[in-house]
Chains A and B, each alone.
Chain A
Amino acid sequence: MPVDLKRINGPENTVSYKLYTPSKTFKEELKCLFKSNNKRQDGRNSLEHRKMFIKTGIVSQAKGSAYLELGNTKVIVSVFDPREIPNKTDYSQKGVLYCEFKYATFSCPQRRNFQQDSEEKQNSIILKQSLEPAVCLHEFPNFQVDIYALILENDGSSLSAAVTCACVALAHASVPMYDLVTAVTMGVVDNQILMDPTLKEQQLCEVFDETDTKSDHGIIVTSFMSTHQQISQFYQTGNINLENISKSISISTDASGDIKLLIEKCIVNHVLKGANKSNEE
Protein backbone atom coordinates (compact mmCIF):
# COMPACT_ATOMS: atom_id res chain seq x y z
CA MET A 1 0.00 0.00 0.00
CA PRO A 2 1.56 3.33 -1.00
CA VAL A 3 1.92 5.83 1.82
CA ASP A 4 -0.15 8.98 1.47
CA LEU A 5 2.41 11.77 1.78
CA LYS A 6 -0.17 14.57 1.85
CA ARG A 7 -1.43 13.44 5.22
CA ILE A 8 0.34 13.33 8.53
CA ASN A 9 0.51 9.68 9.34
CA GLY A 10 0.95 8.43 12.87
CA PRO A 11 4.33 7.08 13.90
CA GLU A 12 5.17 3.78 12.27
CA ASN A 13 5.25 0.52 14.17
CA THR A 14 3.43 1.57 17.29
CA VAL A 15 1.23 -0.78 19.25
CA SER A 16 -1.57 -0.33 21.72
CA TYR A 17 -0.47 -0.26 25.37
CA LYS A 18 -3.26 -2.73 26.09
CA LEU A 19 -0.94 -5.53 25.00
CA TYR A 20 1.21 -4.93 28.07
CA THR A 21 -1.57 -4.72 30.62
CA PRO A 22 -2.45 -7.92 32.49
CA SER A 23 -4.94 -9.80 30.37
CA LYS A 24 -7.61 -12.25 31.35
CA THR A 25 -7.87 -15.69 29.84
CA PHE A 26 -10.71 -16.56 27.52
CA LYS A 27 -12.55 -18.50 30.21
CA GLU A 28 -12.40 -15.59 32.64
CA GLU A 29 -13.62 -13.17 29.97
CA LEU A 30 -16.47 -15.53 29.21
CA LYS A 31 -17.51 -15.54 32.84
CA CYS A 32 -17.58 -11.74 32.86
CA LEU A 33 -19.98 -11.74 29.90
CA PHE A 34 -23.02 -12.12 32.11
CA LYS A 35 -23.66 -10.64 35.52
CA SER A 36 -25.03 -12.77 38.33
CA ASN A 37 -28.67 -12.01 37.43
CA ASN A 38 -28.19 -13.43 33.91
CA LYS A 39 -28.08 -9.95 32.40
CA ARG A 40 -25.25 -8.63 30.28
CA GLN A 41 -22.74 -6.06 31.54
CA ASP A 42 -24.90 -3.19 30.31
CA GLY A 43 -28.05 -4.66 31.88
CA ARG A 44 -29.56 -6.17 28.75
CA ASN A 45 -30.94 -9.64 28.24
CA SER A 46 -29.07 -11.80 25.75
CA LEU A 47 -31.64 -11.11 23.02
CA GLU A 48 -32.21 -7.43 23.69
CA HIS A 49 -31.19 -4.66 21.31
CA ARG A 50 -29.47 -1.53 22.52
CA LYS A 51 -31.33 1.78 22.54
CA MET A 52 -31.15 3.56 19.22
CA PHE A 53 -31.17 7.22 18.23
CA ILE A 54 -31.63 8.36 14.63
CA LYS A 55 -31.62 11.82 13.13
CA THR A 56 -31.81 12.94 9.53
CA GLY A 57 -30.25 15.97 7.88
CA ILE A 58 -26.94 16.08 9.70
CA VAL A 59 -24.73 17.11 6.79
CA SER A 60 -26.09 20.19 5.05
CA GLN A 61 -23.84 19.82 1.98
CA ALA A 62 -25.08 16.32 1.18
CA LYS A 63 -28.33 15.50 -0.58
CA GLY A 64 -29.29 13.21 2.25
CA SER A 65 -27.68 12.28 5.53
CA ALA A 66 -28.40 10.54 8.77
CA TYR A 67 -26.83 10.05 12.15
CA LEU A 68 -27.35 6.95 14.22
CA GLU A 69 -26.39 6.04 17.75
CA LEU A 70 -26.53 2.49 18.95
CA GLY A 71 -25.40 2.61 22.55
CA ASN A 72 -21.90 4.03 22.15
CA THR A 73 -21.60 3.19 18.46
CA LYS A 74 -21.97 6.37 16.43
CA VAL A 75 -22.34 6.54 12.67
CA ILE A 76 -22.78 9.33 10.14
CA VAL A 77 -23.87 8.43 6.62
CA SER A 78 -24.15 10.95 3.81
CA VAL A 79 -25.63 10.33 0.38
CA PHE A 80 -24.75 12.52 -2.59
CA ASP A 81 -26.69 13.38 -5.76
CA PRO A 82 -26.57 10.97 -8.67
CA ARG A 83 -23.69 11.73 -11.00
CA GLU A 84 -22.46 10.11 -14.15
CA ILE A 85 -20.48 6.95 -13.54
CA PRO A 86 -16.83 8.00 -13.82
CA ASN A 87 -14.48 6.20 -16.23
CA LYS A 88 -17.19 4.32 -18.01
CA THR A 89 -17.47 4.02 -21.75
CA ASP A 90 -20.61 1.96 -22.33
CA TYR A 91 -24.13 2.87 -21.25
CA SER A 92 -25.52 0.89 -18.34
CA GLN A 93 -29.25 0.31 -18.04
CA LYS A 94 -29.14 0.36 -14.29
CA GLY A 95 -27.82 2.89 -11.85
CA VAL A 96 -24.92 2.05 -9.56
CA LEU A 97 -24.39 2.47 -5.83
CA TYR A 98 -20.93 3.39 -4.64
CA CYS A 99 -20.40 2.70 -0.96
CA GLU A 100 -17.51 3.60 1.26
CA PHE A 101 -17.31 2.32 4.80
CA LYS A 102 -14.69 3.95 6.99
CA TYR A 103 -13.75 3.87 10.62
CA ALA A 104 -12.61 7.28 11.85
CA THR A 105 -8.95 6.99 12.86
CA PHE A 106 -9.85 7.47 16.52
CA SER A 107 -12.98 5.33 16.59
CA CYS A 108 -11.50 2.03 17.73
CA PRO A 109 -9.26 1.12 20.69
CA GLN A 110 -6.45 0.69 18.16
CA ARG A 111 -5.78 3.65 15.91
CA ARG A 112 -7.01 3.16 12.33
CA ASN A 113 -5.27 4.31 9.21
CA PHE A 114 -6.59 7.01 6.89
CA GLN A 115 -6.67 4.57 4.02
CA GLN A 116 -9.21 1.79 3.91
CA ASP A 117 -7.88 -1.50 5.19
CA SER A 118 -9.19 -4.87 4.07
CA GLU A 119 -11.87 -5.07 6.79
CA GLU A 120 -13.25 -1.68 5.74
CA LYS A 121 -13.17 -2.71 2.08
CA GLN A 122 -15.08 -5.88 2.87
CA ASN A 123 -17.63 -3.90 4.90
CA SER A 124 -18.04 -1.47 1.97
CA ILE A 125 -18.93 -4.38 -0.30
CA ILE A 126 -21.42 -5.76 2.22
CA LEU A 127 -22.97 -2.32 2.71
CA LYS A 128 -23.40 -2.02 -1.05
CA GLN A 129 -24.90 -5.49 -1.42
CA SER A 130 -27.29 -4.88 1.47
CA LEU A 131 -28.69 -1.72 -0.08
CA GLU A 132 -28.70 -2.66 -3.76
CA PRO A 133 -31.82 -4.89 -3.78
CA ALA A 134 -33.83 -2.16 -2.05
CA VAL A 135 -32.98 0.75 -4.36
CA CYS A 136 -34.86 1.24 -7.65
CA LEU A 137 -31.67 1.24 -9.71
CA HIS A 138 -33.57 1.48 -13.02
CA GLU A 139 -34.75 4.97 -12.04
CA PHE A 140 -31.34 6.50 -12.64
CA PRO A 141 -29.67 4.64 -15.53
CA ASN A 142 -26.00 5.38 -16.14
CA PHE A 143 -25.78 7.31 -12.88
CA GLN A 144 -24.08 6.59 -9.62
CA VAL A 145 -25.18 7.47 -6.11
CA ASP A 146 -22.37 7.87 -3.60
CA ILE A 147 -22.88 6.67 -0.04
CA TYR A 148 -20.25 7.42 2.60
CA ALA A 149 -20.50 5.79 6.00
CA LEU A 150 -18.19 7.09 8.70
CA ILE A 151 -17.99 5.35 12.06
CA LEU A 152 -17.25 7.97 14.68
CA GLU A 153 -17.15 5.54 17.55
CA ASN A 154 -17.07 1.80 17.32
CA ASP A 155 -18.67 -0.04 20.18
CA GLY A 156 -19.61 -3.15 18.26
CA SER A 157 -22.24 -3.87 15.58
CA SER A 158 -20.94 -0.96 13.53
CA LEU A 159 -21.64 -2.60 10.17
CA SER A 160 -25.32 -3.17 10.90
CA ALA A 161 -25.58 0.35 12.30
CA ALA A 162 -24.08 1.67 9.06
CA VAL A 163 -26.56 -0.30 6.92
CA THR A 164 -29.58 0.97 8.86
CA CYS A 165 -28.23 4.51 8.88
CA ALA A 166 -27.44 4.40 5.14
CA CYS A 167 -31.02 3.35 4.46
CA VAL A 168 -32.35 6.38 6.38
CA ALA A 169 -29.91 8.63 4.54
CA LEU A 170 -31.05 7.24 1.17
CA ALA A 171 -34.67 7.92 2.12
CA HIS A 172 -33.68 11.41 3.24
CA ALA A 173 -31.98 11.97 -0.12
CA SER A 174 -35.29 10.98 -1.83
CA VAL A 175 -33.69 8.08 -3.65
CA PRO A 176 -36.55 5.83 -4.84
CA MET A 177 -36.62 2.56 -2.91
CA TYR A 178 -38.80 -0.54 -2.78
CA ASP A 179 -38.43 -1.02 0.93
CA LEU A 180 -36.45 0.02 3.99
CA VAL A 181 -33.42 -2.06 4.89
CA THR A 182 -32.63 -2.66 8.53
CA ALA A 183 -29.70 -4.67 9.79
CA VAL A 184 -29.02 -6.54 13.01
CA THR A 185 -25.78 -8.08 14.25
CA MET A 186 -25.85 -11.32 16.20
CA GLY A 187 -22.86 -12.69 18.04
CA VAL A 188 -22.45 -16.35 18.88
CA VAL A 189 -20.06 -17.41 21.60
CA ASP A 190 -19.96 -20.58 23.67
CA ASN A 191 -23.28 -21.69 22.09
CA GLN A 192 -25.02 -18.54 23.30
CA ILE A 193 -26.61 -16.07 20.94
CA LEU A 194 -26.17 -12.40 21.78
CA MET A 195 -28.09 -9.76 19.94
CA ASP A 196 -26.36 -6.50 19.04
CA PRO A 197 -23.00 -7.27 20.72
CA THR A 198 -20.83 -4.50 22.11
CA LEU A 199 -17.21 -4.29 20.99
CA LYS A 200 -16.04 -6.38 23.93
CA GLU A 201 -18.62 -9.09 23.23
CA GLN A 202 -17.90 -8.95 19.52
CA GLN A 203 -14.20 -9.53 20.13
CA LEU A 204 -15.04 -12.54 22.29
CA CYS A 205 -17.21 -13.93 19.50
CA GLU A 206 -14.40 -13.52 16.99
CA VAL A 207 -11.64 -15.26 18.94
CA PHE A 208 -11.68 -18.91 19.59
CA ASP A 209 -11.08 -20.97 22.67
CA GLU A 210 -8.31 -23.46 21.93
CA THR A 211 -9.31 -25.84 24.69
CA ASP A 212 -12.82 -26.45 23.43
CA THR A 213 -13.17 -27.26 19.75
CA LYS A 214 -16.87 -28.06 19.84
CA SER A 215 -18.40 -24.73 20.79
CA ASP A 216 -19.65 -22.30 18.20
CA HIS A 217 -18.39 -18.79 17.78
CA GLY A 218 -18.94 -16.10 15.20
CA ILE A 219 -20.73 -13.01 13.99
CA ILE A 220 -23.85 -12.82 11.83
CA VAL A 221 -25.02 -9.63 10.13
CA THR A 222 -28.50 -9.83 8.60
CA SER A 223 -29.93 -7.05 6.43
CA PHE A 224 -33.66 -7.44 6.08
CA MET A 225 -36.44 -5.74 4.16
CA SER A 226 -39.44 -6.38 6.38
CA THR A 227 -42.30 -5.31 4.12
CA HIS A 228 -41.22 -7.73 1.41
CA GLN A 229 -39.88 -10.30 3.88
CA GLN A 230 -36.59 -10.50 2.00
CA ILE A 231 -33.06 -10.83 3.29
CA SER A 232 -30.92 -8.53 1.18
CA GLN A 233 -27.59 -9.60 2.68
CA PHE A 234 -26.57 -12.32 5.07
CA TYR A 235 -22.97 -12.28 6.22
CA GLN A 236 -21.56 -14.76 8.68
CA THR A 237 -18.04 -15.45 9.90
CA GLY A 238 -16.63 -17.78 12.51
CA ASN A 239 -17.78 -21.34 13.00
CA ILE A 240 -21.50 -21.85 13.62
CA ASN A 241 -23.79 -24.84 13.15
CA LEU A 242 -27.03 -24.78 11.18
CA GLU A 243 -29.26 -24.81 14.24
CA ASN A 244 -27.81 -21.61 15.68
CA ILE A 245 -27.91 -19.96 12.26
CA SER A 246 -31.58 -20.73 11.70
CA LYS A 247 -32.33 -19.47 15.22
CA SER A 248 -30.42 -16.25 14.51
CA ILE A 249 -32.24 -15.72 11.24
CA SER A 250 -35.67 -15.75 12.86
CA ILE A 251 -34.56 -13.63 15.81
CA SER A 252 -32.87 -11.02 13.66
CA THR A 253 -35.73 -10.75 11.15
CA ASP A 254 -38.11 -10.08 14.05
CA ALA A 255 -35.76 -7.46 15.47
CA SER A 256 -35.40 -5.82 12.05
CA GLY A 257 -39.15 -5.35 11.96
CA ASP A 258 -39.00 -3.45 15.25
CA ILE A 259 -36.16 -1.22 14.04
CA LYS A 260 -38.07 -0.50 10.85
CA LEU A 261 -40.95 1.03 12.87
CA LEU A 262 -38.43 3.36 14.49
CA ILE A 263 -36.97 4.37 11.15
CA GLU A 264 -40.40 5.00 9.66
CA LYS A 265 -41.21 7.30 12.55
CA CYS A 266 -37.98 9.21 12.01
CA ILE A 267 -38.67 9.66 8.29
CA VAL A 268 -42.29 10.69 8.90
CA ASN A 269 -41.08 13.26 11.41
CA HIS A 270 -38.71 14.65 8.82
CA VAL A 271 -41.49 14.90 6.20
CA LEU A 272 -43.89 16.55 8.67
CA LYS A 273 -41.26 19.08 9.64
CA GLY A 274 -40.77 19.95 5.97
CA ALA A 275 -44.53 20.23 5.42
CA ASN A 276 -44.99 22.52 8.43
CA LYS A 277 -42.17 24.74 7.22
CA SER A 278 -43.71 25.16 3.76
CA ASN A 279 -47.13 25.86 5.34
CA GLU A 280 -45.67 28.70 7.37
CA GLU A 281 -44.23 30.31 4.26
Chain B
Amino acid sequence: MALCEAEKTFILHSVEENFRIDGRQRGDYRPMELETNIVAPSFGSARLRLANTDVLVSVKLEIDSPTLEQPKLGKIEFFVDCSANATPDFEGRGGDNLATEISNCLSSAYKSSTAFDAGKLCILKGSKCWKLYVDILLLECGGNLYDAVSLAVKAALWDTRIPLVKSVVVDGNKVDMEVSDELFDCERLDVTGAPIMVTVCKIGDQCIVDPTTAEEHCSGGSVVVAVSKSNFSTILQTGGGSLHPMTLLESLKLGQTVAQRLDSTLINTLKQINDNSTDVGFLK
Protein backbone atom coordinates (compact mmCIF):
# COMPACT_ATOMS: atom_id res chain seq x y z
CA MET B 1 0.00 0.00 0.00
CA ALA B 2 1.37 3.39 -0.98
CA LEU B 3 0.45 6.47 1.03
CA CYS B 4 1.35 10.04 0.22
CA GLU B 5 2.61 12.50 2.83
CA ALA B 6 -0.78 14.25 3.11
CA GLU B 7 -2.54 10.98 3.88
CA LYS B 8 0.07 10.11 6.48
CA THR B 9 -0.34 13.50 8.17
CA PHE B 10 -4.10 13.02 8.15
CA ILE B 11 -3.78 9.67 9.93
CA LEU B 12 -1.26 11.12 12.36
CA HIS B 13 -3.59 13.97 13.29
CA SER B 14 -6.57 11.66 13.61
CA VAL B 15 -4.67 9.56 16.15
CA GLU B 16 -3.63 12.72 17.97
CA GLU B 17 -7.31 13.78 18.22
CA ASN B 18 -8.36 10.33 19.49
CA PHE B 19 -10.75 10.04 16.54
CA ARG B 20 -9.22 7.65 14.02
CA ILE B 21 -10.03 7.58 10.31
CA ASP B 22 -12.71 4.93 10.81
CA GLY B 23 -14.19 6.75 13.83
CA ARG B 24 -12.60 4.57 16.51
CA GLN B 25 -10.80 5.71 19.62
CA ARG B 26 -7.18 4.72 20.28
CA GLY B 27 -8.00 1.67 22.41
CA ASP B 28 -10.87 0.37 20.26
CA TYR B 29 -11.02 -2.72 18.10
CA ARG B 30 -12.79 -3.13 14.81
CA PRO B 31 -15.83 -5.45 14.77
CA MET B 32 -15.06 -9.14 14.80
CA GLU B 33 -16.84 -12.23 13.59
CA LEU B 34 -16.01 -15.62 14.99
CA GLU B 35 -17.12 -19.05 13.88
CA THR B 36 -16.01 -22.37 15.28
CA ASN B 37 -16.24 -25.96 14.16
CA ILE B 38 -16.41 -25.21 10.46
CA VAL B 39 -13.82 -27.52 8.94
CA ALA B 40 -15.28 -31.01 9.10
CA PRO B 41 -12.12 -33.17 8.83
CA SER B 42 -10.27 -31.34 11.58
CA PHE B 43 -10.55 -31.87 15.34
CA GLY B 44 -11.17 -28.22 16.00
CA SER B 45 -11.36 -25.13 13.84
CA ALA B 46 -12.18 -21.48 13.95
CA ARG B 47 -12.45 -18.63 11.54
CA LEU B 48 -12.03 -15.07 12.66
CA ARG B 49 -12.81 -12.01 10.63
CA LEU B 50 -11.53 -8.72 12.00
CA ALA B 51 -12.86 -6.10 9.58
CA ASN B 52 -10.76 -6.94 6.50
CA THR B 53 -8.47 -9.48 8.11
CA ASP B 54 -9.60 -13.05 7.67
CA VAL B 55 -7.95 -16.00 9.37
CA LEU B 56 -8.85 -19.67 9.30
CA VAL B 57 -7.32 -22.00 11.87
CA SER B 58 -7.68 -25.74 12.00
CA VAL B 59 -6.26 -28.19 14.53
CA LYS B 60 -5.23 -31.72 13.62
CA LEU B 61 -4.27 -34.36 16.14
CA GLU B 62 -1.79 -37.14 15.64
CA ILE B 63 0.00 -39.63 17.84
CA ASP B 64 3.71 -39.07 18.29
CA SER B 65 6.37 -40.05 20.78
CA PRO B 66 7.63 -37.38 23.19
CA THR B 67 11.19 -36.11 22.97
CA LEU B 68 13.75 -37.77 25.22
CA GLU B 69 14.48 -34.46 26.95
CA GLN B 70 10.86 -33.92 27.88
CA PRO B 71 9.25 -37.35 28.18
CA LYS B 72 6.22 -36.02 30.02
CA LEU B 73 5.18 -33.38 27.50
CA GLY B 74 3.01 -33.53 24.42
CA LYS B 75 3.75 -31.43 21.38
CA ILE B 76 2.17 -28.47 19.69
CA GLU B 77 3.29 -26.98 16.41
CA PHE B 78 2.15 -23.92 14.50
CA PHE B 79 2.19 -23.54 10.75
CA VAL B 80 1.26 -20.29 9.10
CA ASP B 81 0.35 -20.29 5.45
CA CYS B 82 0.30 -16.93 3.71
CA SER B 83 -1.99 -17.64 0.83
CA ALA B 84 -1.44 -15.53 -2.30
CA ASN B 85 -5.19 -14.88 -2.16
CA ALA B 86 -4.53 -12.49 0.71
CA THR B 87 -2.20 -10.13 -1.10
CA PRO B 88 -0.18 -10.56 -4.30
CA ASP B 89 2.98 -9.89 -2.21
CA PHE B 90 2.67 -13.41 -0.81
CA GLU B 91 3.06 -15.00 -4.22
CA GLY B 92 5.83 -17.60 -4.42
CA ARG B 93 7.97 -17.36 -1.30
CA GLY B 94 6.94 -13.77 -0.59
CA GLY B 95 5.09 -14.50 2.62
CA ASP B 96 7.71 -16.81 4.11
CA ASN B 97 9.28 -14.25 6.43
CA LEU B 98 5.97 -13.11 7.83
CA ALA B 99 4.88 -16.72 8.26
CA THR B 100 8.01 -17.64 10.23
CA GLU B 101 7.67 -14.55 12.38
CA ILE B 102 4.07 -15.31 13.31
CA SER B 103 4.60 -19.02 13.89
CA ASN B 104 7.75 -18.43 15.98
CA CYS B 105 5.92 -15.84 18.03
CA LEU B 106 3.05 -18.27 18.62
CA SER B 107 5.29 -21.15 19.60
CA SER B 108 7.26 -19.03 22.04
CA ALA B 109 4.03 -17.69 23.52
CA TYR B 110 2.65 -21.21 24.01
CA LYS B 111 5.96 -22.62 25.26
CA SER B 112 5.58 -21.78 28.93
CA SER B 113 3.49 -24.37 30.71
CA THR B 114 1.52 -21.70 32.57
CA ALA B 115 0.26 -20.54 29.19
CA PHE B 116 -0.43 -23.97 27.75
CA ASP B 117 -0.08 -27.22 29.65
CA ALA B 118 1.51 -29.64 27.21
CA GLY B 119 1.64 -32.22 29.98
CA LYS B 120 -2.07 -32.91 29.40
CA LEU B 121 -1.25 -34.13 25.90
CA CYS B 122 0.95 -36.93 27.20
CA ILE B 123 -0.61 -40.38 26.98
CA LEU B 124 2.16 -42.60 28.31
CA LYS B 125 5.35 -41.07 29.69
CA GLY B 126 8.23 -41.44 27.28
CA SER B 127 6.44 -43.37 24.57
CA LYS B 128 3.14 -41.90 23.42
CA CYS B 129 1.76 -38.38 23.27
CA TRP B 130 -0.62 -36.30 21.22
CA LYS B 131 0.82 -33.85 18.75
CA LEU B 132 -1.30 -30.86 17.85
CA TYR B 133 -0.81 -29.45 14.39
CA VAL B 134 -2.23 -25.94 14.37
CA ASP B 135 -2.57 -24.79 10.78
CA ILE B 136 -3.21 -21.10 10.23
CA LEU B 137 -4.37 -19.90 6.86
CA LEU B 138 -4.40 -16.19 6.12
CA LEU B 139 -7.29 -15.59 3.76
CA GLU B 140 -7.20 -11.81 3.73
CA CYS B 141 -4.84 -9.23 5.20
CA GLY B 142 -6.31 -5.99 6.51
CA GLY B 143 -3.74 -5.19 9.18
CA ASN B 144 -3.27 -6.47 12.70
CA LEU B 145 -2.48 -10.08 11.81
CA TYR B 146 -0.97 -11.10 15.15
CA ASP B 147 -4.09 -10.27 17.17
CA ALA B 148 -6.45 -11.95 14.74
CA VAL B 149 -4.28 -15.07 14.54
CA SER B 150 -3.94 -15.44 18.31
CA LEU B 151 -7.69 -15.05 18.87
CA ALA B 152 -8.49 -17.55 16.13
CA VAL B 153 -5.92 -20.02 17.49
CA LYS B 154 -7.36 -19.79 20.98
CA ALA B 155 -10.88 -20.31 19.66
CA ALA B 156 -9.77 -23.29 17.56
CA LEU B 157 -7.97 -24.87 20.52
CA TRP B 158 -11.07 -24.32 22.63
CA ASP B 159 -13.07 -26.08 19.94
CA THR B 160 -10.63 -29.00 19.75
CA ARG B 161 -11.92 -32.31 21.00
CA ILE B 162 -9.37 -34.95 21.90
CA PRO B 163 -10.60 -38.52 21.55
CA LEU B 164 -10.48 -40.48 24.79
CA VAL B 165 -7.83 -43.13 25.11
CA LYS B 166 -9.57 -46.28 26.33
CA SER B 167 -6.57 -48.39 27.21
CA VAL B 168 -2.81 -48.48 26.89
CA VAL B 169 -1.10 -51.85 26.92
CA VAL B 170 2.63 -52.15 27.44
CA ASP B 171 4.01 -55.45 26.20
CA GLY B 172 7.79 -55.50 26.51
CA ASN B 173 9.01 -52.67 24.28
CA LYS B 174 5.79 -52.51 22.37
CA VAL B 175 3.09 -50.09 23.34
CA ASP B 176 -0.38 -50.66 22.09
CA MET B 177 -3.35 -48.43 22.69
CA GLU B 178 -7.00 -48.25 21.97
CA VAL B 179 -8.68 -44.97 21.20
CA SER B 180 -12.41 -44.53 21.33
CA ASP B 181 -13.95 -43.86 17.93
CA GLU B 182 -17.26 -42.67 19.32
CA LEU B 183 -17.95 -39.21 17.96
CA PHE B 184 -18.85 -37.64 21.28
CA ASP B 185 -16.51 -39.65 23.46
CA CYS B 186 -13.90 -36.95 23.75
CA GLU B 187 -12.62 -34.19 26.00
CA ARG B 188 -11.84 -30.55 25.44
CA LEU B 189 -8.54 -28.83 25.97
CA ASP B 190 -8.07 -26.38 28.80
CA VAL B 191 -7.32 -23.07 27.12
CA THR B 192 -7.96 -20.56 29.90
CA GLY B 193 -4.28 -19.64 29.98
CA ALA B 194 -3.77 -19.59 26.22
CA PRO B 195 -2.09 -16.28 25.37
CA ILE B 196 -3.76 -13.42 23.48
CA MET B 197 -1.48 -11.29 21.37
CA VAL B 198 -2.01 -7.56 21.03
CA THR B 199 -0.12 -5.33 18.63
CA VAL B 200 0.45 -1.89 20.09
CA CYS B 201 1.39 0.59 17.42
CA LYS B 202 3.07 3.92 18.05
CA ILE B 203 1.86 6.73 15.81
CA GLY B 204 3.15 10.19 16.57
CA ASP B 205 3.26 10.44 20.34
CA GLN B 206 0.35 8.10 20.95
CA CYS B 207 -0.10 4.34 21.12
CA ILE B 208 -3.03 2.63 19.45
CA VAL B 209 -4.29 -0.94 19.19
CA ASP B 210 -5.69 -2.80 16.19
CA PRO B 211 -4.06 -0.72 13.44
CA THR B 212 -5.39 -0.89 9.90
CA THR B 213 -2.94 -1.42 7.04
CA ALA B 214 -2.78 2.33 6.44
CA GLU B 215 -2.09 3.02 10.09
CA GLU B 216 0.61 0.34 10.15
CA HIS B 217 2.38 2.28 7.41
CA CYS B 218 2.45 5.44 9.52
CA SER B 219 3.76 3.80 12.67
CA GLY B 220 7.19 4.56 14.03
CA GLY B 221 7.44 1.16 15.66
CA SER B 222 5.16 -1.40 17.18
CA VAL B 223 5.35 -4.04 19.84
CA VAL B 224 3.52 -7.36 19.97
CA VAL B 225 2.67 -8.55 23.47
CA ALA B 226 1.34 -12.01 24.23
CA VAL B 227 -0.50 -12.01 27.54
CA SER B 228 -1.52 -15.17 29.33
CA LYS B 229 -3.85 -14.48 32.27
CA SER B 230 -2.05 -11.41 33.63
CA ASN B 231 1.57 -12.26 32.81
CA PHE B 232 3.51 -11.66 29.64
CA SER B 233 4.45 -14.81 27.78
CA THR B 234 6.15 -13.13 24.81
CA ILE B 235 7.07 -9.60 23.84
CA LEU B 236 8.48 -8.80 20.44
CA GLN B 237 9.12 -5.51 18.70
CA THR B 238 8.12 -5.43 15.04
CA GLY B 239 7.86 -2.91 12.27
CA GLY B 240 11.47 -1.78 12.05
CA GLY B 241 11.32 1.17 14.45
CA SER B 242 12.70 1.79 17.90
CA LEU B 243 10.99 2.93 21.10
CA HIS B 244 11.98 4.95 24.14
CA PRO B 245 12.01 2.80 27.32
CA MET B 246 9.13 4.84 28.79
CA THR B 247 7.06 4.45 25.63
CA LEU B 248 7.75 0.73 25.64
CA LEU B 249 6.57 0.44 29.21
CA GLU B 250 3.43 2.42 28.44
CA SER B 251 2.62 0.27 25.44
CA LEU B 252 3.16 -2.87 27.53
CA LYS B 253 0.64 -1.59 30.07
CA LEU B 254 -1.83 -0.72 27.33
CA GLY B 255 -1.28 -4.13 25.70
CA GLN B 256 -1.85 -5.92 28.98
CA THR B 257 -5.17 -4.24 29.75
CA VAL B 258 -6.44 -4.63 26.20
CA ALA B 259 -5.41 -8.29 26.09
CA GLN B 260 -7.23 -9.05 29.33
CA ARG B 261 -10.33 -7.31 28.00
CA LEU B 262 -10.14 -9.25 24.73
CA ASP B 263 -9.57 -12.50 26.57
CA SER B 264 -12.66 -12.17 28.76
CA THR B 265 -14.75 -11.12 25.75
CA LEU B 266 -13.52 -14.12 23.76
CA ILE B 267 -14.24 -16.57 26.55
CA ASN B 268 -17.74 -15.12 27.03
CA THR B 269 -18.39 -15.37 23.31
CA LEU B 270 -17.18 -18.95 23.19
CA LYS B 271 -19.49 -19.86 26.06
CA GLN B 272 -22.46 -18.66 24.03
CA ILE B 273 -21.67 -21.01 21.16
CA ASN B 274 -24.28 -23.69 21.09
CA ASP B 275 -23.23 -27.22 20.24
CA ASN B 276 -26.48 -27.97 18.43
CA SER B 277 -26.42 -25.15 15.93
CA THR B 278 -26.93 -26.39 12.40
CA ASP B 279 -25.12 -23.73 10.38
CA VAL B 280 -22.23 -25.15 8.42
CA GLY B 281 -19.61 -23.47 6.28
CA PHE B 282 -18.17 -19.99 6.46
CA LEU B 283 -19.01 -18.47 3.09
CA LYS B 284 -22.46 -17.50 4.18
Contact = CB atoms under 8 A, between A and B. Distances in A.
Q: Do A and B originate from a single complex?
A: yes
7 smallest CB-CB distances across A and B, nearest first, come from A230-B242, A236-B235, A133-B242, A239-B112, A232-B242, A122-B104, A237-B108
A278 interface: no
Contacts of A216: 231
Contacts, number: 98
B127 interface: no
A253 B245 contact: yes
Interface stretch (A26-34, A53-61, A240-248): A240-248
A241 B113 contact: no
B114 A213 contact: yes
B248 A239 contact: no
25 contacts: A15-B68, A19-B69, A121-B104, A125-B100, A132-B240, A210-B113, A216-B231, A220-B235, A230-B242, A230-B244, A231-B243, A231-B245, A234-B248, A235-B236, A236-B235, A236-B236, A239-B228, A239-B231, A242-B232, A245-B232, A245-B252, A246-B249, A246-B252, A249-B248, A249-B249
A216 B235 CA distance: 15
A240 B232 contact: yes
Given A210-B119, A229-B245, A231-B245, A239 B114 contact: yes
B230 to A, nearest CB: 7
Interface in B248-270: 248-249, 252-253, 256
Nearest to B93: A87
A225 interface: yes
Which one of A134, A210, A236 has the greatest number of beta carbons of chain B within 10 Å? A236
Nearest to B72: A210
B52 interface: no
Given A217-B112, A239-B114, A133 B232 contact: no
Contacts of B231: 216, 239-241
Given A125-B101, A230-B244, A208 B236 contact: no
Contacts of A235: 235-237
Interface string B97-129: 100110010011001111100010000000000
A239 B232 contact: yes
Interface string A235-265: 1111111100110011001000000000000
Interface of A: 15, 19, 118, 121-122, 125-126, 129, 132-134, 208, 210, 213, 216-218, 220, 225, 228-242, 245-246, 249-250, 253
Interface of B: 68-69, 97, 100-101, 104, 107-108, 111-115, 119, 221, 223, 228, 230-238, 240-245, 248-249, 252-253, 256
Contact of A236 (B221, B228, B232, B249): B232
Given A208-B112, A236-B232, 7 more contacts: A125-B104, A213-B114, A220-B235, A231-B242, A236-B235, A238-B233, A249-B245
Contacts of A125: 97, 100-101, 104
A133 B241 contact: yes
A234 B255 CA distance: 14
Given A121-B104, A132-B240, A239-B115, A234 B235 contact: yes
A240 B231 CA distance: 5
Contacts of B221: 133
Contacts of B244: 229-231
A133 B240 contact: yes
A121 B119 CA distance: 27
A230 B202 CA distance: 13
Contacts of A208: 112-114
A245 B235 contact: yes
Nearest to A179: B242
